[in-house]
Amino acid sequence: MNKSDIILKAKSENIIAFKSSDENNMSLTENGFIFVKKLNNNIFYHISFKEIKTCDVMKLSKVFKTPYFINIEKKTLYHFDELINVQSLFYKDNLGSLLDSFL
């Protein structure tokens, strides 16, 4: 079984439950993030922010083409995109500015 078969199986069993009706949205539930993280040999990135605004959460699906999980309580974004991780160094803890730089 290859990775795409595993992901399809996980989605069908609601292990990975995307949080949107938008089929291009790569937002994961916490369990989905744990599952994909294991598939990716525990290689992932995380960025912490001072605040996370609702409008920024809405922009995430437009920017991220890889799966991501956002923990609102910890104000942390977990993801698998190296380019976004490097870009985040320029915007430190400002999610809105980071996302705007890609739009």
Write the pLDDT tens digit of every residue in 50-93: 999 999 988 998 888 888 999 999 999 999 999 999 999 999 88
Supply the pTM of this predicted model.
Answer: 0.81
User: What pLDDT sits at residue 99?
Assistant: 95
Q: How many domains does the chain have?
A: 1
- Distance (Å) of CA 93 to CA 17, 41, 46, 72, 89: 27, 27, 11, 14, 9
- Distance (Å) of CA 84 to CA 8, 14, 42, 77, 100: 25, 27, 18, 11, 12
Is residue 17 classed as helix, strand or coil in its secondary structure?
Answer: coil
User: What pLDDT sits at residue 18?
Assistant: 59
Amino acid identity of 50?
Answer: K
Q: DSSP character for 79? A: E
| Domain interval for residue 24 | 3-100
